[in-house]
A and B are shown apart, each in its own frame.
Chain A
Amino acid sequence: MSLSKLGGMKILLIAISLIIGLAAGYFAGGAGKVPESQYNQLQTSYNQLQTLYNQLQQNVSSLARKLKAGFIYVGPVEDFGWTAAHDQGRRYVEKVFPWLETVYVESVPEAEAARYIERLVTEENVDVVFTTSFGFMDPTIEVAQKYPNKMFFHCSGFKRAPNSGTYFADFYQVYYLNGLMAGALTKSNKVGYVAAYPIPEVLRHINAFALGVKEANPEAKVYVRWLFAWYNPTGAREAAQALVSIGVDTIAFTEDSTAIVEFAQEQYRQGKQLYVFSHYSPMQDVGPDVVVSGQIVHWEVIYADILMKIRMGIYNNTNLANVDYLWLLKEGAVELGGKPGVPINPKFVNDLKSKYLPGQSISVYDAVLNRLTLMKDVNVPFDPFTGPIRDQAGNVKISAGQRATIAQLFTEEMNWFLDNIIGSPSG
């Protein structure tokens, strides 16, 4: 829109000057006679006008054409986790941007991703492809190099190209807030964590959670159980059961199903109160009596930003090599809670208001909301990974007063467990 307006104004200005010129020439040179110099000037103006008009026409036609975005998913769109969240983002941008058209392919095997990405480019003729699994990283770069006039964005990876950027929404701040609540609520001082794979992302989340637990309750320990699967409701349930049998009463998890929430709700019906934290999708409605809080992702915020910038011409197929979104609470890409708009389940608010951070006069409830505000602030005056932080062996991982660097949090350097965790960081 802004482009066509700008062009229109220029044309109007030149047209006015053309008329003024013509009028001036008429009066200066007498009836019907235009002097040579005037004529040349008019000719130049006319040519300028012609060029601008052509440009404008081009702009208008490119704006009239819809931008087409393709999405490559690793799972089925109704998986109640990762892929469902991305697809929600896709549906959102398609709804709010009338100039956008989207297509998607679900359940794409990582080994065959290149073929699927290429098909979107050649057959669906998309302008930009979003690939939404870590395993799609190399295929994305490979196809990006083959089609330099198209744009690509890969989620959760670190390889970029002039026409291929990266993006990710991370939960570690939210996990820390969950940990504060877990530490305050546990009565047995045994907190459980059922985890997918021992990779930096999951280790970062477990450590962030354990940091929160430790701050609210230095006596409590965090017991980790590995699943070696992103989706395994059976295993998740069995792991939760195993944790409960050793006295754990509070559980967080990284697994793409509602199995643990259902398990806890079932225990509640049988008279045993467990506290759980919903993961990735809003699960509070599945476990209204057990879900304290959790993490919700908003991929639509990132998708909207990227697509808007492509539309405005800010991003193109030559300047994406340094485009790397790592969006957190501040940008609104993640949210605290087990239900949108509900950061803490009202059922547990009183319990959290009556617990105080050790040695401080601030309740855990206030501390959570307080720090949530600080982490949403543009300057992010608070970060949970602030030293001194020690690992299980007592080694200082982040020294006093220092904040963890991106490398310490997001690369292979994240291969340790905090000193209140029981379990192995290598699975």
Chain B
Amino acid sequence: MDIAASILAEAVRAGTPLMLATLGEIYCERSGVLNLGLDGVMTIGALAGFAATWLTGSVWMGLAVAMLAGGLFSLIHGFTSISLGVNQTVSGLALAMLGTGISSLLGAKYVGLPLRESLPLLQIPVLTEIPLAGGLFCHDPVVYLGMVLSIAMWLILFKTRFGITVRAVGEKPEAADAAGVNVQLVRYLCVFLGGVLGGLGGAYVTLSYTPGWREGVMMGRGWIALALTIFSLWNPLGSLIGAYLFGGVEVLQFHLQEYGVPASLLGALPYVSTILVLVASSLGLLRKRLGAPAALGTPYRREG
């Protein structure tokens, strides 16, 4: 494999946890619920995945438990923001802190333990030899799952009835309600799905990317995924490009250091680009054009 392909391969690996979490958050926000607790959800998934793998000896079990844990954990946010209709920003932030706090408390006994099982590598024989693009085909199943999901979730969101329902609930819940859609149920489903994918993204970090559990292992990936959700304009295909791009910037800094590019500058790039996107999206008019769901962050209560 040439250098370009190996850089791409690393970018894809670095981008995968971001992409999985972003895909989940896109559905969550498309249905009108802003889940700022994503970093906490990912951390819960990271610990649950590692602990389950350690205890059962199976990575697949670890991934399953992580998805379930992430999904159930984000239902807390679902309950407060959908059923109780509280401020979603506050509830989400609380979830983020709760998630990191609980995992560092429960995870203390897993710190520094080596992971004996690992995900199998699936090298696609001929394709890995393609210059540059070969870097896309030398990964474990979770990476491929991410690629497939981003396309599948785009199809579902824009080409199926269920996708239209989700978007309707996020754009104009009262209209969807009038059309006979169960707004609360759809939102719960999307929040749960967001948690499942967030948990999977977290587990990918502790089971494959940097195997092992330790406090602070998520290193703010949840927050970057939140920014990526906006960066990708709430479009699953956008997250595919965005996540690999952010992953690429993260990886590239170590390649460019040799050419005198300051490490600190490159390290800041994902955050700088996030801020730029956030600034752009916060300008009211632009927000609409960017495709933000109109009812994002507003709880729905049936009139009368």
Contacts and interface: CB of A to CB of B under 8 A. Distances in A.
Given A228-B263, A427-B262, A427-B264, A237 B210 contact: yes
Contact of B6 (A227, A245, A257): A245
Candidate in A227, A239, A245, A259 with the most chain B CB atoms within 10 angstroms: A245
A387 interface: no
Nearest to B247: A238
A331 B6 CA distance: 45
Interface stretch (A73-81, A298-306, A412-420): A73-81
B267 A228 contact: yes
B142 to A, nearest CB: 16
B251 interface: yes
B214 interface: yes
A234 interface: yes
A68 B204 CA distance: 45
Interface stretch (B85-93, B173-181, B215-223, B293-301): B215-223
A59 interface: no
B14 A262 contact: no
A231 B114 contact: no
B158 interface: no
Given A232-B219, A427-B262, A226 B257 contact: yes
A238 B255 CA distance: 9
Interface string A196-207: 000000000000
Contacts of B7: 245
Interface residues of A, number: 35
Given A233-B210, A258-B212, A245 B250 contact: no
A233 B215 CA distance: 11
B212 A238 contact: no
A239 B254 contact: yes
A239 B263 CA distance: 11
Interface string A219-231: 0000111111001
B145 interface: no
B303 to A, nearest CB: 49
A101 to B, nearest CB: 24
A279 to B, nearest CB: 14
B10 A286 contact: no
Given A238-B14, A427-B264, A233 B212 contact: yes
A217 B45 CA distance: 47
Contact of B212 (A79, A235, A262): A262
A246 interface: yes
Interface in B2-36: 3, 6-7, 10, 14
Contact of A78 (B108, B216, B260, B262): B108
B212 A246 contact: no
Nearest to B104: A76
B251 A231 contact: no
Contacts of A285: 114
B211 interface: yes
29 contacts: A76-B104, A78-B108, A79-B111, A79-B214, A226-B263, A227-B263, A228-B267, A233-B214, A233-B217, A234-B14, A234-B219, A238-B250, A238-B254, A239-B254, A241-B6, A241-B251, A242-B10, A242-B255, A245-B3, A245-B255, A246-B3, A257-B212, A257-B214, A258-B114, A259-B212, A262-B211, A262-B212, A266-B118, A423-B258
Interface of A: 76, 78-80, 223-228, 231-235, 237-239, 241-243, 245-246, 257-259, 262, 266, 270, 285-286, 422-424, 427
Q: Which 8 A-B pairs have the closest CB atoms?
A: A242-B254, A78-B111, A233-B210, A239-B254, A80-B112, A226-B263, A245-B6, A242-B255
Given A79-B111, A235-B254, A262-B211, 4 more contacts: A78-B108, A227-B263, A242-B251, A266-B118
Interface of B: 3, 6-7, 10, 14, 104, 108, 111-112, 114, 118, 121, 205, 209-212, 214-217, 219, 250-251, 254-255, 257-258, 260, 262-264, 267
